[in-house]
Amino acid sequence: MKARIGLAQINPTLGDLQRNLEIHREFIDRSCQGGVDLLVFPELSLTGYFLKDMVPQVALRLDSPVVHELEELSRNISLVVGLVEESEEALFYNAALYLEDGVIRHCHRKVYLPTYGLFDEQRYLARGRTVRTFRSRFGQTAILICEDLWHVSTAYLAAQQGTDLLLIPSASPGRGVERGEKLEIAETWEAINRTYATLFTMGVCFANRVGYEDGVNFWGGSEIVSPAGERLLKGDYFEENLLVGLFDLEELRRARISNTLRRDEDLDLTFRELQRIYRKRFPEGDGDE
Amino acid sequence: MKINVPLVRRMLTGFIRNEVQKTGHERVVVGLSGGIDSSLSTYLAAEALGPEQVLSLIMPYRTSSPQSLDDAGKVVSALGIRSRIVDITPMIDSYFATFPEADPVRRGNKMARERMTILYDFSMAEKALVLGTSNKTELLLGYGTLHGDMASAINPLGDLYKTQVRQLAEAMGIPEPILRKPPSADLWQGQSDEGELGFTYEEVDRLLYYMVDRRYNEEQLQDLGFEAGFIARVTKRIQGSQYKRRLPVIAKISNRTIDRDFRYARDWGR
């Protein structure tokens, strides 16, 4: 089966849900016309990124009318959408939803909230506690959001749950202009995507936004990388784009025949060693919460 | 410190276009002195928005060098942008007739602030955003007039050191005489930035780069060959001018104070 995957490299308006929903409708409409099976929007695509005190104002509960509309839209096309999710106990998460056949199949809450340099997410947002995969019509699927991917452990956990397709909504700020032809951050991300695709033999779909917020640019460059590490699709840097590429799911099988890393991975070794390391580092067993 | 010039050019023209248009504007107004910084800002704006959307104001005082006026004219004709000359001599002289004892620094600050008020007047009249021209070197050193040349709505150059401004200016084809002349605030005759500061931009940019961007500590900076006295002098300047890079200090009374626990992006809703 070949999946037609769209990456919505959009420029959301900061804190304007209605306007951003309009952009989503438009990209979904265009994608449906183009026969796209799965459309991936960037991180916080419904809200914009540097929300600060706007977080509670733009947050959505999963039973809200906006989410319901997206569920309805997913009857025709599978969707990944970024939002601030408000939990029942009024905690706010940087989350991404996977919607398919009219329902929310999965909600990933960003686990690693960067709070360094230009980032300040932990001041405003609650931290997700799980890395889980789910069954989509394209196989075993995982969502990890932006900074999550800078911790190898999250991709490893996803891979160990059998992930075929890793979806990465991002809002990566562009910076670093002294090395080579590209933004330093773009070089790093491209290395991450290619490395994870190859080492974990899975398809990687990276949807990164564009635009500027308070002078900070988001560099786009969305891409799909095959499990053989081949770049199947690449978005322009900085420009708004609807990118559409074909991902042949048979590639997964072929890649895993020629590259047996997944088969050979010794989960038992990792588990035992992690337990030993944990006991050594936290003899009282109180490493966290 | 060398920057990827085409990439930065693209980022900055995108920045100007995006930040101008999302505030519902189409135009910018820029104070054009004929120096390298304001010329570069103007070139970037013309490329980002089209020359017809850029209004440059040339605001000489009677002691301004004729060369500056001439250089500003070169930028205007090279780009085909709109421009106005507004002589600030009457306003400045009238003010200082009351305070004849004022020293050159006071006079220079007043001129910078006079120009600011004119830019903001045209900002309103033309529905144009004021385009900033301060670079990272002068912002860090506090080598500018608060509420004067440091005032703007958007500033494309604030994260580029002076030597990086030169790199970009050269690549964008800014006229040679502007690239070559020694940088000067042109507040009085013979003034030069490097003379006033007591070091060259090459020297201080390299120091700032390692100190600020690369976070080298004093010992590591000395290992790179920077003299302790130079490091101390620059550090003091940065600290001493911190107030110029921040909003006025607000005395906290309530539970929600502007900028401390009332935090919104400037692009709130845009």
Q: What is the pLDDT of residues A37-90, one digit of tens each?
A: 999 999 999 999 999 999 999 999 999 999 999 999 999 999 999 999 999 999
* Predicted ipTM of the assembly: 0.93
Q: Where exactly are the structural domains of chain B?
A: 5-182
Tokens 């961007």: give the residue: B213
CB contact under 8 A, A180 and B4: yes
Task: Name the residue among B2, B15, B264 with its Cβ closest to that of A54.
Answer: B264
| Contact status of A182 with chain B (Cβ, < 8 Å) | yes
CATH ID of B5-182, from 3.30.9.10, 3.20.20.370, 1.10.1040.10, 3.40.50.620: 3.40.50.620
Amino acid at A49: Y
**CA dihedral angle for residue A110, residue A113, residue A119, residue A123, rounded to 10 degrees:** 110
Distance, CA of B228 to CA of B107 (rounded, Å): 34
CB < 8 Å from A in window 136-175 of B: 154
pLDDT at B261 over 70: yes
Could you list the beta-strand ranges (E) of A22-130: 38-40, 78-86, 92-100, 103-109
pLDDT at A156 over 60: yes
Q: What is the pLDDT of residues B132-144, one digit of tens each?
A: 999 999 999 999 9
Tokens 């004021």: give the residue: B130
What number of C-beta contacts closer than 8 Å exist between A and B? Answer: 63
CB contact under 8 A, A15 and B268: yes
pLDDT at A133 over 90: yes
Average pLDDT of chain B, as a whole number = 96
pLDDT at A16 over 90: yes
pLDDT (0 to 100) of residue A289: 46
Average pLDDT of chain A, as a whole number = 96
Q: What is the pLDDT of residues B3-42, one digit of tens each?
A: 999 999 999 999 999 999 999 999 999 999 999 999 999 9
The pTM score is 0.95
Could you list the beta-strand ranges (E) of chain B: 27-31, 54-58, 82-85, 128-130
Give first-to-last CA distance, chain A, whole Å: 44
CB contact under 8 A, B15 and A52: no
- Taking the CA atoms of B115, B118, B120 and B122 in sequence, report the sign of the dihedral they define: negative
Q: Which whole number is the average pLDDT over B110-133?
A: 98
- Half-sphere exposure of A160 toward its Cβ, with a 13 Å CA cutoff? 15
| Contact status of A276 with chain B (Cβ, < 8 Å) | no
| Contact status of B22 with chain A (Cβ, < 8 Å) | yes
pLDDT (0 to 100) of residue A83: 98
Distances (CA, A) of B232 to A219, B124, B161: 37, 43, 19
pLDDT confidence band for A165 (50 / 70 / 90): very high
Q: What is the pLDDT of residues B165-194, one digit of tens each?
A: 999 999 999 999 999 999 998 877 788 999
How far away is chain B from the Cα of A246, in angstroms, using its nearest Cα? 30
Q: Which whole number is the average pLDDT over A1-25?
A: 97
**CA dihedral angle for residue A164, residue A201, residue A133, residue A206, rounded to 10 degrees:** -80
CB contact under 8 A, A50 and B265: yes
Q: What is the pLDDT of residues B48-107, one digit of tens each?
A: 999 999 999 999 999 999 999 999 999 999 999 999 999 999 999 999 999 999 999 999
Tokens 């906290």: give the residue: B252
pLDDT (0 to 100) of residue B190: 81
Using a CB-CB cut-off of 8 Å, the residues of chain B touching A121 are none
pLDDT (0 to 100) of residue A287: 62
Using a CB-CB cut-off of 8 Å, the residues of chain B touching A174 are 11
Q: Which whole number is the average pLDDT over B111-118?
A: 98
In contact, A213 and B265? CB cutoff 8 Å: yes
User: Which of A172, A210, A214 to mutate against chain B (most B CBs within 10 Å)?
Assistant: A214
For B22, the closest chain A residue by CA position comes to: A13
Distance, CA of A101 to CA of A202 (rounded, Å): 24
Q: All domains of chain A, ordered by start, with CATH?
A: 2-259 (3.60.110.10)
| Contact status of B195 with chain A (Cβ, < 8 Å) | no
CB contact under 8 A, B263 and A53: yes
CB contact under 8 A, B264 and A52: yes
Q: What is the pLDDT of residues A65-79, one digit of tens each?
A: 999 999 999 999 999
| Contact status of A13 with chain B (Cβ, < 8 Å) | yes
pLDDT (0 to 100) of residue A288: 59
Using a CB-CB cut-off of 8 Å, the residues of chain B touching A184 are none
Using a CB-CB cut-off of 8 Å, the residues of chain A touching B153 are none
